[in-house]
Structure 1
Amino acid sequence: AMLWRKLPMPVIAAVHGVCFGGGLQIASGADIRVVAPDARMAVMEMKWGLIPDMGGYALWRGMVREDMLRELTYTNREFSGAEALTLGFATFVDENPHTRAMAIAREIADRNPEAMREAKALFNEYVDMDEDAILMAESVRQARVIRQPNQIEAVMAGMQKRAGVFAD
């Protein structure tokens, strides 16, 4: 599940059907999660005498309110995709999660890939940093992309109202 976070590009999960236990951890590793409203979800491990693993705790920290996560872990209560949005397990709820995920992916693909990688890397780092370290990391990562050909292409494409043509 942690591998999704370590990839340099954004990962989008389209969730439908049953998403219990390890499946929930795998989906939680995605940067963006689009979930069908009738999806069935649960932190299921305690039912089998286990604790959530596969990075669940690391992924859920800051994503799901701790008291709710405790209740879901201790009870294995099943929740719907619609409820997943309010809990923090879903980014969006959509009747057709695959179609919505693909639309988001197309939009992301129309951005500077270097800036996308730097933004994702900063997202992965900043949770353990203080404010000064975050500001420094922003500056360092921005310096890697600003005034580079892909950044200039992003500006030109925006001004000319066309899709960007990026080198990657």
Structure 2
Amino acid sequence: MHYELKPNERVAITMEPNGVAQVRLIRTDKMNALDPDMFAALLDAGRALYDMPGLRCVVLAGEGRSFCAGLDMGSMAQTGRHRENPLTDRTHGNSNGPQQVAMQWRKLPVPVIAAVHGVCFGGGLQIASGADIRVVDPAARLAVMEMKWGLVPDMAGYALWRGTVRDDTLRELTYTNREFTGEQALEYGFATIVDPNPVARASAIAAEIANRNPHAQRAAKRLFGAYLHASTDEILMAESIEQQALIGSKNQIEAVMSQMEKRAASFVDP
């Protein structure tokens, strides 16, 4: 299945038979830089994925030379990105529009894997950070770029980097805009895995995820969404609630039987 966006096309979605959605930023002439049409297309893609039947995992990548070069400052200066709505308006639950472009990957009910190559600057880094897992080319170039333009990271970066990037390292990178490589991204906490073919590696991980109980995968993502902020008592109860719903369910039994019978599992999608 191929999902087509509106004529301002900036993002393509292809659903594979195993339930993996391949999502691509396709503004290749500008290294997938974020202009108003790209923001709109990414939000459209997030809405489409949220309710997509049979979805089990998402691989997010950029076509062409790079993942995303960050804000297209020229187009933003012309259109006035911040003029339509005050940034303090919560237009997407707990987020404004630009924040939602990065946060929506955490809000999706299924695991999301970002495959990063080329440059991944500013808003592009924050979008990649919204994924559950980040596979990064060791030669990729990354940067927390906003201070270069007299701004602060404002696309959910602070919320998404909490718990993964060491605080003093994040401060240094934010204050200086120093570029770092994919290898350094692994050291700093921006990358999960380093691989010279990030899309292939991300797709292989996604295929493995898609072969697990999809109800359990979604339950695990809900728990991950809460555990950094909840109290110990709340986490323990949330675990119990999710597990209670899974034990003895059709998919949980199928997971056990397929392992015992050494065959591919046949799960029912949520």
**TM-score scaled to structure 1, two decimals?**
0.99
In the TM superposition, what whole-angstrom CA distance separates every residue of 1:99-128 from its partner, at most 9, and x where no partner exists? 000000000000000000000001001111
Q: Which residue of 2 aligns with 1:164?
A: 265
Q: Which residue of 1 aligns with 2:56?
A: none
Q: 1 or 2, which has the higher helix percentage? A: 1
In 1, the alpha carbon distance for the partners of 2:264 and 2:226 equals: 30
Aligned residues with identical type, % of pairs: 71
1:103 matches 2:220: no
In structure 1, list runs of 5 or more residues that go unmatched.
none
User: What displacement does 1:5 show?
Assistant: 0.2
User: What displacement does 1:75 show?
Assistant: 0.3
In 2, the alpha carbon distance for the partners of 1:164 and 1:91 equals: 27
Q: Which of 232, 243, 251 pairs up with 1:131?
A: 232
1:15 matches 2:138: no
Q: Which residue of 1 aligns with 2:130?
A: 29
In 2, the alpha carbon distance for the partners of 1:160 and 1:14 equals: 34
Q: Which residue of 2 aligns with 1:89?
A: 190
In 1, the alpha carbon distance for the partners of 2:261 and 2:137 equals: 37
**TM-score scaled to structure 2, two decimals?**
0.62
In 2, the alpha carbon distance for the partners of 1:12 and 1:144 equals: 26
Q: Which of 109, 133, 139 pairs up with 1:38?
A: 139
User: What displacement does 1:41 show?
Assistant: 0.1
What stretches of structure 1 move > 4 A for 4+ residues in a row? none
Q: Which of 141, 145, 165 pairs up with 2:246?
A: 145
Q: Which residue of 1 aligns with 2:103?
A: 2
In 1, the alpha carbon distance for the partners of 2:198 and 2:246 equals: 32
User: What displacement does 1:145 show?
Assistant: 1.0
Higher relative contact order (CA 8 A, sep 6+): 1
In structure 2, list runs of 5 or more residues that go unmatched.
1-101
